[in-house]
A and B are shown apart, each in its own frame.
Chain A
């Protein structure tokens, strides 16, 4: 028989105490993993969304700031138009290295193509684009041809269909972008030519015509010179061109960032309180447990167990319960967060990206290790005190 077996038997023999420690460990691990998944995931999501935009400044028609954020973050289509000539005027602003227009469109509401009520569609100008180009060059070794599209991470063509139909136009989806956790994952990208072709054919092929006002664009994505200050360039664009708002991407999603920060603050406070209470409960449970088992521990000492062996045995008990409880907590809460992801996003108003399996495993292990250390720390004092007690006294009490 080994110490671990003895500890496991003792755990089984005192089920109520064991359940309390198990539950505390599960609670602690569940709390830490859920808050890490959501807060860290939300931060990652925002960062990736900004990277996907790939621009330092986005110039849009004034008054559409919130709609752009909703489109990017939640995939709610935004319709906004401004004169195409603005693209050239933006290019002339000192400090602008590149400027590329985009068209923001949407599928028909309830279209058969899509699981979302309206899918956000983004058309780009392949001649000037600098946001999708790196991805296209790396993954497709070229440009998108007429009728081709690239989908967000969660856009799939059903197996029984040849492609996705948008306004009756069959789009050939040639690839999927990496996940960002935002609305961009449920959006589609194609060229200006494809957008205009869809619009041209829509009166005959769709129940409703796709309207793209002539000589208009929805936004201009701006890359500034490496030595230029994005804020100064944005200020100059605002001064030079009326009716537009230059949004610095670094300042985008301020509301969401504030929300994440306040969520993080609340989580830290709640986590701290929960952690302290759980540790206190574990310490009390162990103090009661070792007190009740005083005589048993005295007998073990009489049979030849060293002080360190007794300490080790009790800490193994605590450790086994901590690991088992925290593993269950991590698995259950991770599944719950995954299953209720949309509900959580809806409640928070901020998307979050679920990490990949290796990252998830690492986070889970981190949570288990943290709980294990905390439970051991909580159990250490009462177990140490009993391990150094005079065995004869322990047996008498």
Chain B
């Protein structure tokens, strides 16, 4: 039986919190008593679930006549250290699911837990800090700030964290750019870099705060086949070296082979999972 702890957010409080079965009335009472963020942590350490998506739906109301169910009652668990590749055609809901997990778009219903923290019950400041400290993002579109150099782009996320994050940020960024093969492009602006090089900078940026989780949204969609392979190998290297959990969505079915688990989505639902 999976058990959870319930407690308002601080680390000390989490550590000292009582363990309760989430499916019991007692847990619900505890949640109701905590008006702010509630931390739900799995008590089953062997499971070590990092991401837990529970019955998540996301419906876009475009107009009275047009309602788009982008994600429908999806449940998913991702264990720490997994490299999960979610594939599906355009409009299958994979990007929306990724955004819901990241706290970038609110689900219409359902819950998302990241290491037991219910993402959508956190206030904006804490949700932002969670994204900043624990999640690294790689997007399908060019997401570097055009007015900043490669090095400055990599350092950028540390600006939104605490002072500790800013400590040695410059040195870490240089090392990361070196690791992704761009040691000679530190001071290049995005317009001076190729698409593949830009994505490498983005990957370096996603690692600057040493996150537990990398969320990659179609990171190779704009790249040629060769560069796509390079980028995917880079993801695999990062995963192998750091053990970071990666959740990558792509419309290319063949890229599923790069992950430790592949999931297929269609019409907003998970239709196939090889776990």
Which residues of A are in contact with B by a Cβ distance under 8 Å? 1-3, 6, 9-10, 12-13, 295-296, 298-309, 390-393, 395
Contact = CB atoms under 8 A, between A and B. Distances in A.
A1 B139 contact: no
Given A1-B152, A304-B133, A391 B105 contact: yes
Contacts of A305: 128, 132, 160
A295 B141 contact: yes
B159 interface: yes
Given A10-B147, A13-B146, A392-B96, A302 B160 contact: no
- Residue in A300, A304, A305, A390 with the greatest tally of chain B CB atoms within 10 Å: A304
B104 A391 contact: yes
B265 interface: no
Interface in B104-141: 104-106, 124-125, 128-129, 131-133, 137, 139, 141
Range, interface on chain B: 20 to 34
A307 B132 CA distance: 13
Nearest to B106: A390
B273 interface: no
Task: Label chain A's interface by main secondary structure.
Answer: helix
B102 interface: yes
A9 B148 contact: yes
Nearest to B215: A302
A90 B129 CA distance: 86
Interface string B64-76: 0000000000000
Contact of A390 (B105, B137, B145, B157): B105
Given A6-B159, A304-B133, A393-B105, A299 B128 contact: no
A1 B155 contact: yes
Contacts of A307: 124, 128
Contacts of A295: 141, 143
A11 to B, nearest CB: 9
- Residue in A12, A295, A305, A392 with the greatest tally of chain B CB atoms within 10 Å: A392
Contacts of B99: 391-392
B251 to A, nearest CB: 16
A230 to B, nearest CB: 68
B128 A306 contact: yes
Given A295-B141, A392-B99, A306 B160 contact: yes
A166 to B, nearest CB: 67
25 contacts: A1-B155, A1-B156, A1-B159, A2-B159, A6-B145, A9-B148, A295-B143, A296-B145, A299-B139, A299-B145, A300-B160, A301-B104, A302-B104, A302-B137, A303-B131, A304-B128, A304-B133, A305-B132, A305-B160, A306-B124, A307-B124, A390-B104, A391-B105, A392-B99, A392-B104
B161 interface: yes
A74 B134 CA distance: 75
Nearest to B157: A303
A303 B160 contact: yes
Task: Label chain B's interface by main secondary structure.
Answer: helix
A395 B159 contact: no
A392 B106 CA distance: 9
Contacts of A298: 104
- Residue in A2, A13, A302 with the greatest tally of chain B CB atoms within 10 Å: A302
A306 B125 contact: yes
Interface in B157-192: 157, 159-161
A13 B144 CA distance: 13
A390 B205 CA distance: 22
B147 A12 contact: yes
Given A1-B155, A304-B160, A392-B105, A299 B132 contact: no
B159 A302 contact: no
A272 to B, nearest CB: 36
A314 to B, nearest CB: 14
B156 to A, nearest CB: 6
Given A10-B147, A302-B104, 4 more contacts: A1-B156, A303-B137, A304-B161, A393-B105
B104 A303 contact: no
Nearest to A298: B104
A9 B147 contact: yes
Contacts of A392: 96, 99, 104-105
B244 to A, nearest CB: 17
Nearest to B124: A307
B169 to A, nearest CB: 9
Nearest to B217: A395
Contacts of A9: 145, 147-148, 152
Listed from nearest, the 6 A-B pairs whose CB atoms lie closest are A304-B132, A13-B147, A392-B105, A392-B99, A304-B160, A9-B147
A304 B141 contact: no
A2 B146 CA distance: 17
A105 to B, nearest CB: 69
Given A391-B104, A392-B96, A301 B159 contact: no
Contacts of A391: 99, 104-105
B122 to A, nearest CB: 12
